[in-house]
Structure 1
């Protein structure tokens, strides 16, 4: 069986060579079947192919396991053009329409060459469960197609017999042993072998503990499968929050604080803003947060295309400091100056074992070390960013006199009249040889050097009419490959005025 797919096809139209309609891969009824049977479908994607192609597979009763393997050619593209890349996932007979949670059974993008699903187990990235009879769909996503086109082959193997014992999820608890109302350190953008990461969940949890983190968020690409096992690695010292990195063709966003097993669809582009808002609203409805991730990431499909009006936070610092992060901070600063504040956060986006978990990290003020408390602190912007747990920081602003306005901290408002004097104090530690900058809508308003001890107390005075807000940066005068210096810490603003 062979199919061709080109730019002239709609996203849900299937054709085969010669114009015949694709009827799917049909297996015999269970009574006629052997213990195992494999069918192969071959096809071709042309440049400009639709984002998604659904290969139907008719599964009879009596199947205990389905296995899918795929391959495609990788011709050398002309200089400057991307080569072939093909993603893969799966829906069961419950449905594969946009947002259909019932039918989603897994996604691995282009990281694996196939998957296996049965009642009690599944390849990481996929959801175990019964192999119900009916029409399953293998979803193929031609991420990039070289000018020469892409030939592919999909092998579908069905294995018959008793389904075996069901899978028993082990989710992480929603609370860990905290310190009451306090600042907690976390990393909310992380990957394991459940998507395109190289660490196991256990290795990631160990790396988080070694980095001095209090919490992490599980954000696998387009799948909630890791959440079914995080309870094996959480503990009283480490809160694990369920989430997903929603990987669209127009940018990636984090859905933080999802219920265990809850899946958020990614099959839309920036030209379809209503679809994005639909799933943004779905995340908010279950108490979660939406985060624009690495907005200036230079890879195909990674840069942010949905704007900032419809998200709860923006990830301004992603992994080791680069020009992409500098650009993100500048955009965020411009939003602040325009009167639109989207709280900032920073995460490591760690994939490989060489990626440092907690570089950077978000330090959030929360009522407790519990999922809802951490999310509430992030939503309110009661957070600052650091390159590691060695860095300490406190920023506060106060008005005149003992009976004046109540002092305000990061993410809060100091309610004083426009002419009232405002005292700003920044305390920093673990930052030897760095420069502290206090920044307002007018730019850098005050700077000071941190001595070799790494600790400093910086004071500055202003009035609310002169600065609608103030935020802090701590930078090391050491260049990276793409920037003249290195960010060490960054705060959300304190707002000044009634």
Structure 2
């Protein structure tokens, strides 16, 4: 992979006389982007202090390495997020230099590089190797996300004559634990990692995770890890990926200009109740808009942020659909609190959760612990971890369970082990366990294998995921051939096609219940619980077993912004009532919504039987008589001009 005839980095720098007298930060040899999903995008950051009027940004060998359909794109963003410059002077085997006038825009700039598009019919991905450097009183650095398998920050072996050693300075604030994720080549003689603490820091380091070639992690713990750490990667060969669970920066210099972030303790509480609750914190400032910063307060509503001194931040707290986000402005505050306001008080006995999330152990962005933390902060009562797996090779699924299950608290918050059984024709989520069928197994065989594992003391169930998604184009037809299916996932593929498929199965006499989840792969950009399923447990305790029972019995409704209660002749969704002699049933409906509700619709055997106009109300409660001739009926709360309901119940069955 090493290119011939290219001068070494030291020679390149020596030829640039102006560089010698100025501060230079330079990336390792080599960076790259390509046309694959895993290395399509690369972000680098530049910290510009208030006193710096200008700097030079340079890219070596910016031109693509071969013929491409569309070239790589290098875009520089100012701290407020606006596009400052398109770097459009690519050269081969030379530095393309760009003079940057800072003006009033001190803070964190971002260089985003998007990979080339390969020519039509190309057998190999299009790739672009390059180097980046800054000249001037600025810092050049990376801020890795935790992900290393599906995508993330990747480095290649030297392409431009540099040594096979990559060195970074890691700025660690006052933390007690840091986790570095790696994906290294299987050859144990390559990509050796050495993490050196500051001289005054005592810490323990341990390796964990999966074998080389998959996700490994280096966990560092200590009373106070604050300081500048040295991360050295030796014997770089091939490609390796690097991620960090915490919001840390990797500098391309041993003396960063950026000040050490200070520690701010944050509490999130419910206004008017003075009750601390877990919540999500979005942190923004005009000087840092290019860096996403999302944190969560813990199980008791306390958290820690690490903020740069001298910057005024807006910290916005949110907690899912049941609460209104609230924000505060803080500058150099060592401690503060952020209120949340309830939109409604959830009736007793109802709980909500998300049964489809992914972690770093498959194609997710975040660690299992981070996903659990996010689920709590989004106001959920449970989360089911469903990393991709198939057949007996599910070690990555099991290690995610191993890391997350100790965080479960029966009665308060539940972590449920699960798996997304993944085949080219269908995906099926196992809830409260895993299945060892081969990837060639028919869908009905996988469903029946799960049902055979079901026990009174360890209930387990399964759902068909996103049945109208183009990625599993045969799933809908496979569903129509099924004889048994406990659950079907809605609102995560083409709608209203998936809802109509469900109604079709119900009309065939199949007792299948609906469920919705987020299928989130990134807790920052796709919030857990933005689609959620509510279940009714009444006085029974919140446990994994009771959650599974409620799901498979249909004592539930789906929501993406509203709370919807529906009863017919005193029965709840999932129940069966006798057909009344009059042909009419007495129904009760109550809706509480985060957004205006246009109408309530009643559906029987897939047909609209009645509409109640609400005219944009946020709350409504009513009783009415409903003429129903079909074998099932459900209610749904609708927005204006949107075919997907804000909330939809499971059916109440009518015995004919």
Q: Structure 2 length as normaliser, TM-score? A: 0.45
| Residue 380 (1) aligns with residue 553 (2) | yes
Q: Name the SS for the 2:498 alignment partner.
A: helix
Q: 2:586 aligns with which of 413, 417, 423?
A: 423
> Is 1:339 the equivalent of 2:509?
yes
Counterpart CA distance in 2 for 1:314 and 1:276 is 14
- TM-superposed CA distance for 1:83, in Å, is 8.5
Kindly tell me: are residues 392 and 276 of structure 1, through their superposed partners in 2, closer, same or farther at Cα, counting changes over 3 Å?
A: closer
- SS of the counterpart of 2:646? strand
Q: Distance in 1 between matches of 2:124 and 2:437?
A: 23
**1:315 aligned residue:** 489
Change (3 A) 1:361 1:115: farther
- Cα–Cα, structure 1 residues 344 and 273, in superposed 2: closer, same or farther, change >3 Å? closer
C-alpha separation between the residues in 2 aligned to 1:231 and 1:421? 47
Instruction: Give, in angstroms, the shift of residue 282 of structure 1.
Output: 5.2
SS in 2 for 1:202: helix
Identify the range of structure 1 (419-428 vs 231-240) with the bigger mean alpha-carbon deviation. 231-240
Q: Flag the 1:413–1:301 CA change in 2: closer, same or farther, 3 A.
A: closer
The equivalent residue for 2:454 is: 284
Counterpart residue number, 1:121: 208
Within 5 Å, give how 1:181-330 maps onto structure 2.
182-222=349-389, 223-235=397-409, 237-258=412-433, 263-265=434-436, 267-269=438-440, 272=442, 275-277=445-447, 279-281=449-451, 283-284=453-454, 287-299=459-471, 303=475, 306-307=478-479, 308-318=482-492, 324-330=494-500
Structure 1 pair 233/485, CA: closer, same or farther in 2 (3 Å)?
A: same
- Deviation sequence 1:357-380 (CA, Å, 0-9, x none): 102100011222101101000110
What residue is the counterpart of 1:67 in the other structure?
none
CA distance in structure 2 between the aligned counterparts of 1:359 and 1:343, rounded to whole angstroms: 20
What is the aligned partner in structure 1 of residue 173 from structure 2?
none
- Residues 211 and 282 (structure 1), Cα distance of their counterparts in 2 relative to 1, 3 Å cut: same
Q: Are the equivalent residues in 2 in contact too, given 1:247–1:266 (CA < 8 A)?
A: no
> Is residue 495–residue 643 contact of structure 2 (8 Å, CA) maintained in 1?
no
Between the two structures, name the one with larger relative contact order (CA 8 Å, sep ≥ 6).
1
Runs of 5+ consecutive residues of structure 2 not aligned to the other structure: 1-115, 126-147, 153-182, 189-205, 217-236, 240-298, 301-345, 390-396
Cα RMSD for the two superposed structures: 3.9
When Rg is computed on C-alpha atoms for both structures, the one with the higher figure is 2
1:459-470 matched pairs, under 5 angstroms: 459-463=623-627, 466-470=629-633
Equivalent in 520, 527, 548 of residue 350 of structure 1: 520
> What is the match of residue 194 of structure 2?
none
Q: Gaps (5+ residues) in structure 1?
A: 1-73, 85-107, 129-152, 156-175, 399-406, 479-483
CA distance in 1, matches of 2:510, 2:636: 20
Name the counterpart of 2:534.
Answer: 363
Higher normalized strand content (fraction of residues): 2
Looking at structure 2, the residues matched to 115 and 340 of structure 1 have their Cα atoms a distance apart, in angstroms, of: 49
Q: Distance in 2 between matches of 1:326 and 1:309?
A: 23
Residues 154 and 127 of structure 1: is their aligned pair in 2 closer, same or farther, counting only changes over 3 Å?
closer
SS at structure 1 position matched to 2:618: coil
Describe the shift of the 1:305–1:83 C-alpha distance in structure 2 as closer, same or farther (beyond 3 A). farther
Find the counterpart in structure 2 of residue 456 from structure 1: 620
1:283 to 1:360, Cα distance in 2 relative to 1, 3 A: farther
Q: What's the counterpart of residue 413 of structure 1?
A: 576
The alpha-carbon distance between structure 1 residues 277 and 206, as it changes in their structure 2 partners (threshold 3 A), is: closer
Shift of 1:442: 5.8
- Among 437, 443, 454, the alignment partner of 2:607 is 443
**1:115 CA drift (Å):** 7.4
* Aligned partner of residue 471 in structure 2, secondary structure: coil
CA drift at 1:340? 1.8
Q: Output the CA distance in 1 between the equivalents of 2:461 and 2:185.
A: 30
Shift in alpha-carbon separation, 1:252–1:302, aligned structure 2, 3 A: farther
User: Would the aligned equivalents of 1:395 and 1:409 in 2 still touch at CA under 8 Å?
Assistant: yes
Q: CA deviation at 1:227?
A: 0.7
Q: Give the Cα separation in 2 of the matches to 1:309 and 1:257.
A: 22
- Does structure 2 retain, via aligned residues, the 8 Å contact 1:425–1:459? yes
1:98-126 CA-partner distances (Å, limit 9, x unpaired): xxxxxxxxxx9866966779997223997
Q: Structure 2 CA distance, aligned partners of 1:239 and 1:364?
A: 14
TM-score (normalizing by structure 1): 0.58
Equivalent residue, structure 1, for 2:28: none
CA 1:426 to 1:278, structure 2 compared with 1: closer, same or farther past 3 Å?
closer
**Displacement of 1:75 after TM fit?**
9.4
Q: Are residues 208 and 277 of structure 1, via their aligned partners in 2, closer, same or farther at CA, if it must alter by over 3 Å?
A: closer
CA distance change for structure 1 residues 77 and 445 in 2, over 3 Å: closer, same or farther? farther
User: Could you say if the C-alpha distance between residues 436 and 462 of structure 1 is closer, same or farther in structure 2, counting changes exceeding 3 Å?
Assistant: closer
SS state at 2:490 partner = strand
* Distance in 2 between residues matched to 1:83 and 1:312, nearest whole Å: 43
**Quick one: distance in 1 between partners of 2:655 and 2:474?**
38
- In the alignment, the residues of structure 2 paired with residue 360 and residue 83 of structure 1 have an alpha-carbon distance, to the nearest angstrom, of 38
